[in-house]
């Protein structure tokens, strides 16, 4: 008697198991399974960006109505920059190192030329005693922020070329300090001492983190500190800030000079442990200058309380851990130098901003990265983090993901064959 083979269900029209498996493999290659460090850095950055949008909307609603005749004008502007900056960050994360190194010199030259327009032409705009904005038509931006990103790329490129000379001050360290210091000097001509301090920390801190010996960095640190102090005491407004910071009863001696820091402390005290609630700040009603920018941390402490402030600090600690893990895992000189530079830039600036609000430092006028209002700062910070993400990518992730997909497809085929 002939044996009748078992009937199998006909395949649905248009379906092919092999084709489906191939499509899944292609999809896995498109959305690569990156390393844990990559996702930790990306996730923390996106959280702080979204949190910043919420806090900018809350802290700017009063001033936005007064200055722009619309409650959400500033928040909408910040949201637009975030909508542009996040895709730029993701696109930058796909760019290989060789492209960043090829763009390093042109980017540094263009950004320095733009900063030269700020300090040497009528296109520069003064704000708060500093000339740091460039106006081209109705569009305004800060070239100093572009110099930061350019320095990240340039430092990675020059460290790669001078890797064997980093132990020699004359042939290795001095050329880096001259070019980097020249770019920072252009910003110093505009009087923005806070940004200059962050850029100097970024340059010297990155060299230290990649292994340059302290004895080689000590002379430029001492010279930079003296120059910083001379520039600080050369301006009456800066002297007032320093004096206000050093005087314990500042409000009774110089009410105008202490106004911002005093009301920042009032806002933090008003928040207590649990805060007054999101949107219920009293300081943002024109009591606290730069409530959505330099002093947004005070609004966070007032509306979300000590708990909210600690959460924000914790997120920056997590961001620092993510940068440190990437720095530990990368292998190329470019990746190490670029990651170290962005780490010192973002985390150092966050520490300075929070220290100013807590009255641990005099007012320096630097925003809280990813959180404060400011389109140029947000775009450049996201772009710089995109560069770090590009070196944090796992080059073998796509191969492993494709292999896992192929293995699962083969297992399903073998299981179906054994069932038949």
CB 283 within 8 A of CB 258: no
Indicate the pLDDT class of residue 402, thresholds 50, 70 and 90: low
More confident residue, 303 or 131: 303
| Per-residue model confidence as pLDDT tens digits over 370-396 | 999 999 999 999 999 999 999 998 655
Which of 22-36, 66-80, 180-194, 298-312 is predicted most confidently?
298-312
For the residues 106-121, what does the mean pLDDT come to? 93
* Run of H or E including 25: helix 17-30
Provide the pLDDT for residue 395.
Answer: 57
Q: Are 180 and 366 in contact (CB under 8 A)?
A: no
Cβ-count burial of 409 within 10 angstroms (0-12 exposed, 13-18 middle, 19+ buried)?
A: middle
SS3 356: helix
Answer with the residue of higher pLDDT: 241 or 3: 241
pLDDT at residue 1, as a whole number:
46
Element spanning 80, H or E: helix 73-92
Asked whether residue 253 carries a pLDDT value surpassing 60, the answer given is: no
Biggest CA–CA distance in the chain, Å, is: 112
Q: What are the pLDDT digits (tens) for 118-136?
A: 988 888 888 767 788 888 8
The answer to whether residues 336 and 327 touch, using CB atoms and an 8 Å cutoff, is yes
- pLDDT for 264 equals 92
Collapsing DSSP to helix, strand or coil, 142 comes out as coil
Answer with the residue of higher pLDDT: 70 or 405: 70
Which of 66-75, 134-143, 174-183 tops mean pLDDT?
A: 174-183
Q: Cα separation of 307 and 315, whole Å?
A: 12
In this model, does residue 15 exceed pLDDT 80? no
Residue ranges of alpha helices (H) inside 212-292 are 214-233, 236-246, 250-253, 255-271
The alpha-carbon radius of gyration of the chain (Å, integer) is: 26
- Phi/psi for 179 (5° steps) reads -70, -50
| Helix axis angle, 333-357 to 193-209, nearest 10° | 140
What confidence tier does 416 reach under pLDDT thresholds 50, 70, 90? low
Supply 239's token pair: 């002297």
Give burial (CB, 10 Å; 0-12/13-18/19+) of 419.
exposed
Phi, psi (degrees; rounded to nearest 5) at 279: 90, -5
Classify the phi-psi angles of 274: left when phi > 0, otherwise alpha if psi is within -120 to 50, otherwise beta: alpha
- Average pLDDT value over all residues in the chain: 86
User: Whole-angstrom Cα distance, residue 142 to residue 164?
Assistant: 35
Residue 134, strand partner residues: 124, 141
Q: What is the mean pLDDT of residues 26-47?
A: 77
Q: Name the pLDDT band for 18 (thresholds 50, 70, 90).
A: low
Rounded Cα distance between 328 and 312, Å, is 24
**CA nearest neighbour of 132 among 108, 151, 114:** 114
């Amino acid at each position: 008697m002939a044996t009748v083979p078992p009937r199998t269900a006909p395949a649905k029209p248009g379906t092919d198991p092999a084709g489906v498996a191939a499509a899944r493999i292609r999809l896995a290659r498109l959305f690569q399974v990156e390393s844990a460090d990559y996702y930790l850095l990306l996730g923390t950055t996106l959280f702080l960006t979204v949190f910043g949008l919420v806090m900018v909307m809350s802290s700017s609603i009063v001033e936005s109505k007064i200055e722009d005749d619309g409650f959400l004008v500033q928040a909408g502007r910040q949201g637009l920059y975030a909508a542009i900056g996040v895709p730029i960050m993701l696109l930058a994360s796909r760019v290989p190192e060789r492209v960043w190194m090829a763009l390093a010199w042109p980017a540094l030259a263009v950004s320095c030329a733009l900063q030269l327009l700020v300090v040497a032409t009528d296109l520069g705009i003064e704000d708060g005693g500093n000339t740091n904005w460039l106006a081209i038509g109705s569009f305004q931006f800060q070239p100093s922020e572009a110099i930061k990103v350019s320095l990240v790329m340039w430092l990675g490129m020059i460290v790669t070329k001078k890797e064997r000379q980093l132990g020699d001050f004359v042939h290795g360290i001095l050329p880096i300090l001259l070019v980097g210091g020249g770019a920072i000097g252009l910003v110093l001509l505009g009087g923005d001492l806070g940004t200059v301090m962050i850029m100097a920390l970024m340059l010297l801190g990155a060299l230290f983190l990649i292994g340059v010996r302290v004895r080689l960095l000590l002379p430029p640190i001492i010279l930079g500190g003296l120059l910083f102090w001379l520039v600080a005491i050369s301006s009456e407004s800066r002297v007032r800030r320093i004096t206000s910071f050093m005087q314990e009863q500042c409000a009774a001696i110089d009410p105008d000079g202490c106004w911002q820091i005093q009301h920042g402390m009032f806002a933090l005290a008003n928040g207590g442990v649990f805060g007054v609630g999101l949107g219920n700040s009293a300081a943002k009603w024109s009591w606290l200058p730069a409530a959505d920018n330099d002093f947004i941390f005070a609004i966070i402490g007032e509306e979300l309380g000590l708990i909210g402030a600690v959460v924000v600090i914790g997120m920056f600690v997590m961001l620092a851990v993510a940068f440190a893990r990437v720095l530990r895992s990368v292998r190329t000189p470019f990746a190490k130098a670029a990651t170290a530079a962005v780490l010192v830039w973002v985390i150092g600036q966050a520490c300075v901003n929070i220290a100013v609000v807590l009255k641990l430092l005099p007012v320096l006028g630097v925003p809280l990265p990813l959180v404060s209002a400011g389109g140029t700062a947000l775009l450049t910070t996201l772009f710089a983090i995109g560069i770090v993400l590009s070196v944090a990518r796992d080059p073998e992730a796509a191969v492993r993901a494709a292999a896992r997909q192929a293995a699962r497809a083969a297992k399903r085929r073998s299981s179906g064959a054994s069932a038949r």
